[in-house]
Amino acid sequence: MSLFDDPSHNDRPATVLVRGFVLHQGWLDRPAQEAMVADLRAVIAAAPLFSPVTPWGKPMSVRMTSAGKYGWVSDRRGYRYAANHPAGTPWPPIPESVLSVWRDVVGAVRLPECCLVNFYGEGARMGLHQDRDEADFGQPVLSISLGDRARFRMGGTERGGPTESVWLQSGDVMVMGGPARLAYHGIDRIDFGTSDLLPRGGRINLTLRVVD
């Protein structure tokens, strides 16, 4: 069993480096996670989760919404950053509890313009992909995991190369910068019911990005 296979790592806060990804395990304590979930309930009330379809018409298993200047949307017209929710309303502001993680971890020169909220119910996953819809790949991306633990897979910058995986747990914060910014990554599966943070189970991942 390697360090990265140990799902009890939240007992031992640590920063680990995997393939250029900086993973801060247990960055948020339980009260901070609960406060963030409360803020996200308000975001989801203003901008309800929706089920995106790929440009090829295949439904994604992850449900999504966003906060900030831009939200990430995918439909038969393609995937892109958009200034409005599919319902036509502007996205709510990024909660202060979320922005403060960015400031503390990234030490912000620029603040994020998009907070993508991904919700993983039982069986949801996300295939290997690159994030390259942003203007400046020199800006880092930050991810916050809440709820059930998930198997995160990461590769290099070429499709089809070797990959490794690591468990992401509730309260973990990961930063992708430098060469890792363009690495292939995805979520193999979540371990449904492994956290009691969300009363009905599942996982929320927040991804903070500078877009322009």
Based on the shown chain and the rule CB under 6 A, indicate whether residue 174 belongs to the binding site for ligand MD3.
Answer: yes
Could you tell me which stretch among 6-14, 50-58, 102-110, 182-190 binds ligand MD3 (CB under 6 A)?
182-190
Total number of residues shown for the chain: 212
CA distances (Å), origin 142, targets 63, 76, 109, 194, 200: 19, 27, 14, 23, 26
How many helices (DSSP H) and strands (DSSP E) are in the chain? 2, 13
Based on the shown chain and the rule CB under 6 A, indicate whether residue 105 belongs to the binding site for ligand MD3.
Answer: no
Q: Which is nearer to ligand MD3, 187 or 210 (CB)?
A: 187
Based on the shown chain and the rule CB under 5 A, indicate whether residue 188 belongs to the binding site for Fe ion.
Answer: no
Based on the shown chain and the rule CB under 6 A, indicate whether residue 176 belongs to the binding site for ligand MD3.
Answer: yes
Sheet containing strand 114-120, strands side by side: 14-18, 21-25, 173-176, 141-147, 203-209, 114-120, 63-68
Q: Which is nearer to ligand MD3, 118 or 195 (CB)?
A: 118
Q: Residue 186 in 3-state DSSP?
A: strand
Q: Which is nearer to ligand MD3, 1 or 25 (CB)?
A: 25
Q: Which of 67, 115, 116, 197 binds ligand MD3 (CB under 6 A)?
A: 116
Q: Is residue 155 a contact partner of residue 128, using CB atoms and an 8 Å limit?
A: yes
Binding site for ligand MD3 (CB under 6 A): 116, 118, 126, 131, 141, 143, 174, 176, 180-181, 183, 185, 187, 205, 207
